Amino acid sequence: MQLKSLSIGSAHSALQARQTTPLALAEAHYKQIAQRDHEIGAFLTLCRDRALAQADRIDRLAVEGKPLPPLAGVPVAIKDVMSTRGVRTTAGSKMLDKYIPPYDCTAVGRMEAAGAVVLGKTNCDEFAMGSSNENSAYFPVHNPRDLSRVPGGSSGGSAAAVAADMAVAALGSDTGGSIRQPASFCGVVGLTPTYGRVSRYGLIAFASSLDHIGPLTKTVKDAATVLQVIAGRDSMDSTSADLPVPDYVSELEKPIRGMEVGVAKEYFGEGLDDEVRHAIECAIDKLKNLGCEIVPISLPHTPYAIPTYYLIATAEASSNLARYDGVRYSLRARGVKTLSEMYRRSRDEGFGAEVKRRIMLGTYALSAGYYDAYYLKAQKVRTLLTRDFDEAFRKVDAIVTPTSPTPAFRIGEKSNDPLAMYLADIYTVTADLAGIPAISIPCGETQEKLPIGLQILGRHFDEATILRLAHAYEQA
């Protein structure tokens, strides 16, 4: 048995049958990290003591013959925007280089309560702002499939860790595509749940009306298992929904025959790479063969999604990032004489170029005189985009699209052209703007062996349907 290439499901069975131990699983993954991560750069911090103590706890459960919780002994990685008590949490920024949170993010706490073994914290774009991981203040992440290429972003470290067998599963965050796009670039599964499905308590905020936490895994079933564990109301996050959590894993096996699947022409326009288009068309054919009804639909406001997203996300970011003032937990510049000089220099030294660009764009969009023309208008267009989906979901149960217009691009290819980088988020930002759930699953490769991702969008709080469709496609 290759310990490092297990899925959650197979690790669980192996542990239950006592063919391996949580300690052996953790060690196999740390060994893989030691062998591969020097060339990939997925991890910023490893937390070996915490991992081994947890593995030991789970070991004892197994020895006592107690029933094992769903993530018992599963080695996982956590994007470094989620607070971990006693373990450095940087958000990929120099601003938080020395930040050691005094509490755990709810999602991380729930993973550990379900038996997961947290191996470490993964690299990401600074404050989750980016699509390539080149905006990390530490080092870029390299795509495990082709080290000269980006892993996607901003959860690139989490995606690369799972793709390179350095973790069985990972948590990422998604504001405009940061779970799904890296999942598609690295050839793994990435799920962005409905807004409010998973608590964000302890997530370092980027844009609060858009931020989500979700899993990156090797299989759709694993994504369902992790969602099951992290979903549900949390009294520490007033935006978490007070709705029952369905049994996502058992729902997977329900038939998909007769499901109505929408295909929107707006997602197949200019800029879509030919090989990606071909792979998505084949996936649609496969769904048809599995008994789905393919329904042409239109989401007419899609062309406005990128400007809408980049106005709202930057506006919210400029407000959320105001707290990094050098006073409490963030970096404080040395040798300053006045309070305002301390603020200015701390923010200048602590934030990288992309974060500064976003703070300036967002501050501008919110400023007197421009608020109505930019921020308010973007909010109105956001409503139109949401209505497009409401309309479409009256006719169909799910919508399939490419996750990204291209496969993984080369490191450095777009880093000097922020607009080109922003445009690459075209297919992912819409789900975040509408707050609907979306999943990216592998659907083939290019001739150069680069993974391609298929995105499936669903109705609010209907993760079960998109997981079911994704699972059926994956099995087929």
From CA 455, how far away is CA 441, in angstroms rounded?
7
Asked if 129 interacts with ligand GLN (CB under 6 A), we say yes
Active site residues: 79, 154, 178
Question: Closer CB to ligand GLN, residue 280 or residue 313?
Answer: 313
State the nearest-atom distance from the C-beta of 205 to ligand GLN, in Å.
11
Count of residues that bind ligand GLN according to CB under 6 A? 13
Stretch that binds ligand GLN, among 96-104, 136-144, 173-181, 223-231 (CB under 6 A): 173-181
Q: Least CB distance from residue 467 to ligand GLN, whole Å? A: 20
Q: Which is nearer to ligand GLN, 106 or 175 (CB)?
A: 175
Region of 30-38, 63-71, 174-182, 359-367 interacting with ligand GLN (CB under 6 A): 174-182
Residue with Cβ nearer ligand GLN (178 or 240): 178
Secondary structure of 211-278 in HEC code, one letter for each residue: CEEEEEECCHHHHHHHHHHHECCCCCCCCCCCCCCCCHHHHCCCCCCCCEEEEEHHHHCCCCCHHHHH
Site string for ligand GLN, 69-108 (x = CB under 6 A): ----------------------------------------
In the bound state with ligand GLN, the residue whose beta carbon lies nearer, of 140 and 262, is 140
For the window 285-324, what string marks contact with ligand GLN as x by the rule CB under 6 A?
Answer: ----------------------------x-----------
Find the binder of ligand GLN among 41, 109, 120, 177 (CB under 6 A). 177
Cα gap 38→18, rounded to integer Å: 32
Least Å distance, CB 335 to ligand GLN, is 33
| In the complex, minimum distance from the CB of residue 433 to ligand GLN, in angstroms, rounded to a whole number | 11
Work out whether 130 is an interface residue with ligand GLN (CB under 6 A).
yes
Tell me which of 84, 93, 154, 406 binds ligand GLN, using CB under 6 A.
Answer: 154
Give the chain as a 3 state SS string. CCHHHCCHHHHHHHHHCCCCCHHHHHHHHHHHHHHHHHHHCCEEEECHHHHHHHHHHHHHHHHCCCCCCCCCCCEEEEECCECECCECCCCCCHHHCCCCCCCCCHHHHHHHHCCCEEEEEECCCHHHCCCCCCCCCCCCCCECCECCECCCCCCHHHHHHHHCCCCCEEEEEECCCCCHHHHHHHCCEEEECCCCCECCCCECCCCCCCCEEEEEECCHHHHHHHHHHHECCCCCCCCCCCCCCCCHHHHCCCCCCCCEEEEEHHHHCCCCCHHHHHHHHHHHHHHHHCCCEEEEECCCCHHHHHHHHHHHHHHHHHHHHHHCCCCCCCCCCCCCCCHHHHHHHHHHHHCCHHHHHHHHHHHHHHCCCCCHHHHHHHHHHHHHHHHHHHHHHHHCCEEEEECCCCCCCECCCCCCCHHHHHHCCCCCHHHHHHCCCEEEEEEEECCCCCEEEEEEEECCCCHHHHHHHHHHHHHC
Closer residue to ligand GLN, CB minimum distance, 168 or 305: 305
Q: Which is nearer to ligand GLN, 154 or 302 (CB)?
A: 154
Pick the piece of the chain touching ligand GLN (CB under 6 A) from 53-61, 110-118, 125-133, 268-276: 125-133
Residue closer to ligand GLN (CB basis): 126 or 388: 126
Determine which residue in the list 21, 123, 143, 178 makes contact with ligand GLN, applying CB under 6 A: 178
Residue 192 β-bridge partners: 438
**Minimal distance in Å, beta carbon 130 to ligand GLN?**
5
Select from 123, 131, 158, 240 the one that contacts ligand GLN (CB under 6 A). 131
**Of 55 and 129, which has the nearer Cβ to ligand GLN?**
129
Binding positions for ligand GLN, 409-438, rule CB under 6 A: 425
Q: How many Å apart are CA 112 and CA 408, to the nearest integer?
A: 32
Minimal distance in Å, beta carbon 45 to ligand GLN? 20
Q: How far is the CB of 186 from ligand GLN (least distance, A)?
A: 15
The residue range among 3-11, 175-183, 232-240, 296-304 that interacts with ligand GLN, by the rule CB under 6 A, is: 175-183
Among 185, 206, 374, 389, binds ligand GLN (CB under 6 A): 206
Residue ranges binding ligand GLN (CB under 6 A): 128-131, 154, 174-178, 206, 313, 425
